[in-house]
Structure 1
Amino acid sequence: MAPRVLVVAGPGGAGSSTMAAGIADHLAAAGRPVTVLDNDPYTGARSRCAEAIPAAGPAAALAASKTVDLQSLLSVLGDSAEVVEPLRHTDTAAALRLLWSIPVEASDEHIVVVDAGSNGPDLARLARMLPASLLQLSRVSSKWLRTARPFAAAVGGKLPGPALLGQVQASAERARAIRNAVCGGSGGVLLVGGDPGKTARIGVGVALSGVLVRGVVGLENGPEDLLPGVPRVASPVDWLASDWDTQPPVQIVADMTDEGYQMRMPLPLSDFRELKLRWSGHSLTLAATGHQSVLDLPSVLQRCRPSSASLRDGMLDVAFRPTRAGA
């Protein structure tokens, strides 16, 4: 079982760091094992905590030391669009530091509070796509690199050897554990409301990566059609005491009427016309409100084609139908 990962996100100035610190203090005072992560040592959540709360467990630090530095590896690989393109819209270094510090080895009693602020969508996007990108990098061979980067091959000393590729494979395994913790049933986002439009865009940006927006605080009097399907939270303390639904947010359901499938995922978008979907056989790209994410499709959906999509009450349904021979 993975630890419970609560990402606290919101527009700049909305108070997400204060909220994350308050939640961590409440959990620590109640005797729960808790870890607080942020990217700001001066005004982030950890600096605001009244309790002495660790930033990350020793197991996470040990695991991180055995994995590769992504920025160094990207420098070696250069500008291969197929490998690097998914990272271009992400503040990779800052988000990677946060994700890599999540103690995925901890028990399900452990709660990790991540102060993400306005970077919540970037964090969710990186958590979703990093395992596939690292797995792809681990399959890179010297022959491919000489073809793709003849200059690097000519100057020498920049082709990754077996040790580096082994680190990439270890990194891919850790990235899968992080993705499962953030994007699975043990993860979720609490939005801290500020400007309603900016708050909604952050919520949609997070949800596009398949991370569940579990609630929003500070918008009790906001427009009713804002963030459909997301509960309004009046008391974070009472909300924390409630049980979480541990079902993964992205569900694949068999459609018995025509032997097809339905992919269902929460998406708190008010207007379906703002959503753009692009299917590529192995993945589904979703874009809305200035954010974009790529969802790798399970093997059962890679043998199908999307036939329709609908959005109702904050739930996106995409119908897939089997690809017929010769079609």
Structure 2
Amino acid sequence: MRMLLVTGTGGAGRTTHAAATALAAARRGHKVLLVCGDPIDWLPQQHGLDVRRVDPGAHFRAELLALQEHAAPALDLLGAARLDGEELTELPGSDRYAFLKALREAADADADLAVVDLPPLHDAVALLALPGQLRRYLRRLLPTERQAARALRPMLAQLAGVPMPAEWLYRTAARWDADLATVQQLVDAPGTGVRLVVDPGPAAAAALRAASAGLALHRLPLDAVVANRVLPTASADPWLAALAARQQAHLKELRDTHDALHEVPHTGHDPRTPDELAALGHLPDPAAAPRAEWTVEDRRADEGVLVWRIPLPGAARSDLGLVRRGDELVLTVGRFRHIAPLPSALRRCTVSGAALRDGVLSVRFTPDPGLWPRTP
């Protein structure tokens, strides 16, 4: 199954274009799953198209009630009053976890293509990075080597005089890790791409550069960029003609930033029927975009260093942050952050410099004489 993740700037029409892309693929005979965060109740079920809506409220209530049930003995001991589902309202940020659950369920769907209407750009990148981050937290908080000693926990609890984590906690952590691994595999799969929908205005080029850098930081390929609501250039109305001319200038900046730019004309209103969506069928077909490789160059013979080359198109030098933390490199680009494990050869080196040129970050590593094998 291929997956197309659709995001964009706020109000640019990403939900409309996710629905249009899914409908067009279904009408071409593919089995398509459309996962949407915003309601599109006006889109009825079509042949070959399965529409599922993410419901953060229902997901939050179900997860909290399940946690309350597992922790019932401790809560009863404390005299806590149970919460009812009717009184629960989701907390800020809970929509991300509802999306993760929807992506997990999409992995089991009987479909040729899954189109996912993600939140706006910055939230979307954070969401796609979340499975790896949460798995990292689980490994730190509940290491697998400690989980393996389950039979010894009652004895350890008596010796230490403190309660040990309950069995259900380890089972829950294992289930979460398996679900997160499935989502991460789906996002990292060769057939997965991200499509960006932008409104061709003054902030579009900056948003595209930020998207390119944020996605590249997490090695997510940008499938295509869709410029929405493009005005006709030929107009008798001077005001509309001037507006279209300014829009064309912004479109030129977008084309200079990304060569796979597709323009969608302004229809005068947002599509609200399947036939109106089908009129947008000239949108590009979802394609498997190549993922950029992070390569290590061996320059020890000439310069005495190894260089880790990390493609970061759209990144600015002023937005970059770089910190070595043990066997990991903490990379920051603007509002985005990624913790990347070092390749084995670089773990025996020290960071000796970094430079950003032509959209590629080159991090220089000098071999540590105390750790690097001596040459005969």
What TM-score, normalized by structure 2, do the two folds share?
0.61
Q: Distance in 2 between matches of 1:131 and 1:198?
A: 29
Q: Tell me if the contact between 2:307 and 2:362 (Cα under 8 Å) persists in the aligned partners.
A: no
Q: Counterpart in 1 of 2:311?
A: 265
In structure 2, do the counterparts of structure 1 residues 225 and 312 end up closer, same or farther at CA, with 3 Å as the change threshold? Answer: farther
Rg: which structure is higher?
A: 2
What is the CA distance between 1:139 and its match in structure 2? 1.8
Amino acid of the structure 2 residue aligned with 1:255: E
Q: Tell me if the contact between 1:36 and 1:112 (Cα under 8 Å) persists in the aligned partners.
A: yes
In structure 2, do the counterparts of structure 1 residues 129 and 301 end up closer, same or farther at CA, with 3 Å as the change threshold? Answer: farther
Q: How does 1:229-308 map to 2 (within 5 A)?
A: 231-234=260-263, 240-241=284-285, 243-246=287-290, 248-249=291-292, 251-258=293-300, 260-269=306-315, 271-308=316-353
Measured against aligned partners, the alpha-carbon deviations of 1:95-133 in whole angstroms (never above 9, x if no partner) come to 1221222233468x7322121131212212213422222
Q: How does 1:20-35 map to 2 (within 5 A)?
A: 20-35=18-33
SS at match of 2:213: helix
Q: Distance in 2 between matches of 1:4 and 1:200?
A: 25
Q: Counterpart in 2 of 1:164?
A: 169
Q: How does 1:126-165 map to 2 (within 5 A)?
A: 126-139=130-143, 160-165=165-170
Amino acid of the structure 2 residue aligned with 1:113: V
Q: Distance in 2 between matches of 1:35 and 1:242?
A: 13
State the identity as a percent: 22
Which of 17, 20, 34 is residue 19 of structure 1 equivalent to?
Answer: 17
What is the aligned-residue RMSD (CA, Å)?
A: 4.0
Q: Distance in 2 between matches of 1:304 and 1:121?
A: 30
Q: Distance in 1 between matches of 2:343 and 2:99?
A: 27
Q: Distance in 1 between matches of 2:365 and 2:281?
A: 41
What is the CA distance between 1:212 and its match in structure 2? 2.2
Q: Tell me if the contact between 1:24 and 1:36 (Cα under 8 Å) persists in the aligned partners.
A: yes
Q: Counterpart in 2 of 1:94?
A: 95
Q: Distance in 2 between matches of 1:227 and 1:316?
A: 21
Q: Counterpart in 2 of 1:113?
A: 115
Query: Do residues 186 (structure 1) and 191 (structure 2) align?
Result: yes
Q: Tell me if the contact between 1:127 and 1:182 (Cα under 8 Å) persists in the aligned partners.
A: no
Unaligned ranges ≥5, structure 2:
53-58, 72-91, 150-159, 229-247, 265-279
Which of 89, 104, 107 is residue 104 of structure 1 equivalent to?
Answer: 107
Q: Tell me if the contact between 1:276 and 1:288 (Cα under 8 Å) persists in the aligned partners.
A: yes
Q: Tell me if the contact between 1:261 and 1:319 (Cα under 8 Å) persists in the aligned partners.
A: yes
What is the CA distance between 1:154 and its match in structure 2? 11
Q: Distance in 2 between matches of 1:49 and 1:318?
A: 49
Corresponding residue pairs, total: 281
Q: Distance in 1 between matches of 2:258 and 2:351?
A: 24
